[in-house]
Amino acid sequence: MRILLVSFYYPPDLCAGSFRAGALVAALRERAPPGTQIDVVTTLPNRYQTFVAEAPALEVSAGLEVRRIGLRTHRSDMLGQARAFLTFAREARRHTAGRRYDVVLATSSRLMSAALGAAIARRSDARLYLDIRDLFADTISEVLPVPLAWPASQIFSRIEAWTMRRADRVNLVSRGFEDYFRRRYGDRPVAWFTNGVDEEFVAAAPVTTTPGRSAAQALVLYAGNIGEGQGLHEVLPGLAAALRGRARFVVIGDGGRRAALERALGGADNVELRAPVPRSVLLEAYQAADVLFLHLGAHHAFEKVLPSKVFEYAALGKPILAGVAGYAARFLREEVVNAAVFAPGDVAAAVRGFDALERGDCPRPQFVARYARAAIARAMADDVLSLGGVRTEAR
């Protein structure tokens, strides 16, 4: 059996797509029958301009070949991302030309990696498994300026329909996607393997309750992308001002709206912006925090998503302050103790949520056990392998 994984991001890059792709490959290698060849087509690390990780363009080991395609330095805006993807798509098609695959697996948040996987699967006459992490065609209509929103939505909706109709199975990471997907593609077989808690966070999860520290100011930490989807520039300046003297904020990350966030903060003396860091350093920052902060922009499309950040935050036992709506808000209320949820952009509600949190670290062992990434990845790998006729129940 030969399997191709298409993923724009892959370890050692720093993002949810990279971590998910790495876990899937590890699980496929563990679960696949002897003689299986897994090819990965991805990019050289490029998620953040302010964080560069070294990785070989070609990495070969027993049963695994990873081809990383180099991209020119680009901004994280839409035009820069589009140019980067066109380079990736062209080189990925060239690299896979003439190769035959039994199964093509594409993991995708911005749709186009899924469309690329569909095109390669069609050319190779392979079964197609799509791992959909976001509803890009739905989101694009809300985040673009009005003159561009309608034509862009029409174009991407057609690409989405073409892609989904060619899939033999579609995995959706959020139950919030279900209504949208069923209305449009109800005949497609669906799986539900969500995001999960990576091994580093399982190992770092607390085992006993630790009282909160008596610092005059609570340290509130956000770590991750700083883009339109997170909407930090819309909430953090007001929240920092409202909690001045009671909380100081650290933001670790980068993205297309970092400059907008810096302008909106206007030199606030209780907010510190830091560049992205490796996970080992990030874990230290998490452990030093009193509260972990999460926010999504106030768009209807974002009410369907379930951010991967929820899982690593929850595993660490810290209080969570989350500005989310829809499915993510329901998930946090039902699954995560000591999490305060407020409507995106509502500073007054965020302050009330901050006041309601219990300080200190509290273990969430049931959550960690239920959503361990390794177990989810193994189950998903079995599902992928089943498209190639491999039964893994007895293995």
Model-level pTM? 0.91
Assess if residue 392 is contained within a domain.
no
219 plus 140 within the same structural domain: no
Sequence letter at residue 305: V
Exposed/middle/buried for residue 202 (C-beta within 10 Å: 0-12, 13-18, 19+)? middle
Alpha-carbon gap, residue 167 to 171, rounded angstroms: 10
Residue from 167, 292, 124 nearest 218 by CA? 292
* CATH code, domain with 148: 3.40.50.2000
Bond into 12 cis (ω within 30): yes
213 and 355 inside one domain: yes
Q: Are residues 221 and 98 in the same domain?
A: no
Phi first, then psi: what are they for 221, rounded to 5°?
-115, 135
pLDDT digits (tens, 9 = 90+) for 270-310: 999 999 998 889 999 999 999 999 999 988 989 999 999 99
**How many domains, in total, are found in the chain?**
2
Handedness of CA 33, 34, 35, 36 (dihedral sign): positive
Identity of residue 262: E
> In this structure, is residue 84 part of a structural domain?
yes
Q: Is the pLDDT of residue 394 over 60?
A: no
317 found inside a domain: yes
Domain-embedded: residue 321 = yes
Whether 94 and 69 have beta carbons less than 8 Å apart is answered as no
CA distances from 211 to 5, 229, 290, 318, 359 (A): 45, 34, 11, 11, 7
- Return the structure tokens found at 220: 């509130």
Backbone angles phi, psi at 167, to 5 degrees: -80, 140
User: Does 226 lie in the same domain as 135?
Assistant: no
Q: Could you give the CA distance from residue 335 to residue 351 in angstroms, rounded to a whole number? A: 22
Q: Is 128 inside any structural domain?
A: yes
Q: Which residues contact 327 (CB under 8 A, 6 or more apart)?
A: 174, 175, 176, 303, 304, 305, 306
* Separation CA 182–CA 124 (nearest Å): 28
pLDDT at 209: 87
Give the torsion through C-alpha atoms of 386, 187, 104, 92, to 10 deg: -170
What secondary structure does DSSP assign to 23-89, as a single string?
A: HHHHHHHHHSPTT-EEEEEEESS-SBTTB-----SEEEETTEEEEEE------SSHHHHHHHHHHHH
The pLDDT of residue 395 is above 60: no
Does residue 116 or residue 45 have the better pLDDT?
116
Task: Identify whether residues 96 and 226 lie together within a single domain.
Answer: no
The predicted pLDDT at position 54 comes to: 83
Complete DSSP assignment for 240-289: HHHTTTTEEEEEE---TTHHHHHHHHTT-TTEEEE----HHHHHHHHHH-
234 and 134: one domain? no
Taking only the tens place, the pLDDT of each residue in 355-389 is 999 999 999 999 999 999 999 999 999 999 999 88
Does a structural domain hold residue 218?
Answer: yes
Residues in the chain: 395
| 179 and 269 belong to one structural domain | no
Whether 155 and 252 map to the same domain: the answer is: no
Q: Which residue has the tokens 């993991």?
A: 107
Give the domain range for residue 299: 199-370
Q: Is the pLDDT of residue 136 over 80?
A: yes
Say if residue 52's pLDDT is above 90.
no
33, 83: one domain: yes
pLDDT exceeds cutoff 70 at 121: yes
393 found inside a domain = no
Residues 108 and 182 in one domain: yes
Q: What's the pLDDT tens digit per position in 39-48?
A: 999 999 876 6
Residue 191 lies in a domain: yes
Please check the confidence at residue 79 and state whether its pLDDT lies above 50.
yes
Confidence bin at 115 (pLDDT 50/70/90): very high
Do 161 and 234 lie in one domain? The reply is no
Residue 51 has pLDDT above 70, yes or no: no
When pLDDT is averaged across residues 320-349 and rounded to a whole number, the result is 97
Let me know whether 360 and 382 are in one domain.
Answer: no
Structure tokens at 114: 């899924």
One-letter identity of residue 78: M
Q: Left (φ > 0), alpha (ψ -120 to 50) or beta: where does 297 sit?
A: beta
- Beta strand 64-69 with 103-108 is unpaired
